[in-house]
Structure 1
Amino acid sequence: MELRTLRYFVAVADELHFGRAAARLHMSQPPLSRAIKQLENEVGAALFDRSPSGVSLTPVGAVLLGEARALLDQADRLRVRVAAAAGTAAITVGFLGDSADPAAARLADAYRRRHPQVEVRIRETDLTDPTCGLHAGLVDVALTRGPFDETGLTVRELRADPVGALVRADDPLAGRDSVKLAELADRRWFLFPEGTDPAWQSYWNGGAPREGPVVRAVQECRQAVLWNGTVGMTLLNHPQADGLAVVPLIDMPPSRAVVAWKEGDTNPLIRSFVRLAIAAYRDGAFAST
């Protein structure tokens, strides 16, 4: 029973869908199905119930899932401890600037408890690079927000947070219960510099071309609104400075908090980071960029 096959099994158990599991593992579905069938032959029992309505774990599969997770976690810890003994255990984590999400603090606590000997290097980036240096090879893993160019990356959603229009507190919209994008069509918005990821720029501009001052950082966004009366988007529950207000945007999709890393990277420190990030964000509901 190989560790690789167990990782395949856990992916299918997590997704309960062979196609999604294959995409997550960056492989085609037929070899994944063959590997699971071989594992079932080794175990001597079916691990999944397959039906037109979907895939579910059998009782035997549920038992194996718990044991497989523990075994894979132990294997990862072994690799990390050996790397730490050799003085090579380190991970570089990218963050978007001005992150005050309590989930990030929970993640830091959990990661330090799990890997006390690992050096965690932090690279904080501004709003011009939502991958926090992943595409440039400057970080191992990024805690950030979508959307952005995911070419060559693996991205897992952690949470979806509602957004609102950021305006001055004396703006006519400030007292509204909600607002639609069409009502902001004639307003000036803050923009990101030329060359910023198009998908990222488009999302934070409400999906339409805009005109307005160019900003790079969250604080610059706030100042652009305060000084110029521009409008922009922010997380609905993001704490705001005096003089600013946030009005819920009812026709804008939520902002996705995500963890991303290089496609195919098998570093156990990254795998552990992703697992702990999923748990940390699942346990809390508030986030801010």
Structure 2
Amino acid sequence: MRYFVAVAEELHFGRAATRLHMSQPPLSRAIKHLEADVGALLFARSPGGVTLTAVGAVLLDEARALLDHAERARVRVGAAAGVATLTVGILGDGTDPGVSRLAAAYRRRHPGIDIRVRNTDLTDPTCGLRAGAVDVALTRAPFDETALRVRALRTDPVGVVLRADDPLARRDRLRLAELNDRPWFRFPRGTDARWQSYWNGGRPREGPVVRTVHECLQAVLWNGTVGLAPLGHDLPAELAGVPLVDMAPSRMVAVWNEGDANPLIRSFLDVATAAFRH
């Protein structure tokens, strides 16, 4: 069901496989087996991607409900067994030093807590929080904060990522206007509008559609695409980051659902605030 929902939402086997962190052939086989079990085609396939059939649309509603029920059952069973679980969503690859400090500090404070981590790509800045897939997320603002609570952890300057042999890569700093004639990477249609606007420098852009940090860097390397990224992270030798003087800093934040009184979240926020101060 998780495989089916991923393909149904992406409408592309390759993108769904990337989202699921798996290769495409086993995903395609799993969907074919599901179609055999159902006795009907779930997707109409074409070279450009796939579309849901009428049967697939019905199954999508049921599959989402089943997955939601399974997650609720997992939480209830864990509570009955006396095992406290906290699911943390982390945007991107989770290599930020603050995340490592947080993990170590939280383990020391709560050695009996079962921490589950869900890494997500760049198309969902809330890391599955709205869908109930995580309890709390470590991510970057801005995004739509409706029905969410947000705590700022750190701010980072933002720069443009360029190929190292790009003439602009030799500059000490740049302005957004100097990049207006370049292709930029974009996120898929339906991505949070505030999030998309921020990483596009506040205006519509044209360029390749990407989902992950790796795809962003490859778009720069192969196509000369430009895009924004927080400074301070290591880049491959073939790429360079140049500070942008007129770009608002990126805010690293912890975010959780409004009204969620889980005490594990409150403790997590306290530890996270301390870990990201260093």
Q: 2:162–2:169: 8 Å Cα contact kept in structure 1? A: yes
Query: One-letter code of the match for 2:273?
Result: I
Deviation at 1:102, TM superposition (A): 1.1
Give the CA deviation at 1:109: 0.8
Q: Percent sequence identity over matched residues? A: 68
Is the aligned partner of 1:170 residue 2:161?
no
Select the residue among 97, 109, 115 that pairs with 1:120.
115
1:241 and 2:236 matched: yes
* Structure 1 residue 263 corresponds to structure 2 residue 250: no
What TM-score do the two structures reach when normalised by structure 2? 0.71
Please show how residues 133-172 of structure 1 align to structure 2 within 5 Å.
Answer: 133-172=128-167
For 2:260 and 2:185, locate their aligned partners in 1 and report how far apart those are by CA, in whole Å.
Answer: 36
Q: C-alpha separation between the residues in 1 aligned to 2:201 and 2:150?
A: 22
Matched, 1:199 2:199: no
What is the 5 A alignment of 1:1-289?
86-283=81-278
5+ unaligned residues in a row in structure 2: which ranges? 1-77
Q: Could you list the runs of 5+ residues in structure 1 that have no partner in the other structure?
A: 1-82, 284-289
CA distance in structure 2 between the aligned counterparts of 1:109 and 1:238, rounded to whole angstroms: 20
TM superposition shift of 1:274:
0.3
Separation in structure 2 between the aligned mates of residue 129 and residue 120 of structure 1, nearest angstrom? 21
Give the superposed CA RMSD.
1.3
- How many residue pairs end up in the alignment? 201
Report if aligned partners of 1:144, 1:258 keep a CA contact under 8 Å in 2: yes
> 1:85: Cα distance to partner?
9.2
Contact 1:84 1:117 in 2 (8 A): no
Shift of 1:99: 2.1
> Helix, strand or coil for the counterpart of 1:238?
coil
Secondary structure at 1:174's aligned position in 2?
A: helix
Question: Match of 1:273, as an amino acid?
Answer: F
Alpha-carbon deviation of 1:103? 1.0
**TM-score, scaled relative to structure 1:** 0.68
The 4+ residue runs of structure 1 with deviation greater than 2 A are 83-86
Give the Cα separation in 2 of the matches to 1:86 and 1:137: 21
Task: Give, as a single letter, the amino acid of the residue that structure 1 aligns with 2:224.
Answer: G
Task: Kindly indicate whether the alpha-carbon contact (under 8 Å) linking 2:94 and 2:119 is maintained by their aligned counterparts in 1.
Answer: no
**CA distances 1:90-129 after superposition (whole Å, capped 9, x unpaired):** 0100001212111111111111111111101111100000
Contact 1:193 1:216 (8 Å CA) reproduced? yes
| Alpha-carbon distance between aligned partners in 1 of 2:94 and 2:182, rounded to the nearest angstrom | 27
Distance in 2 between residues matched to 1:162 and 1:103, nearest whole Å: 16
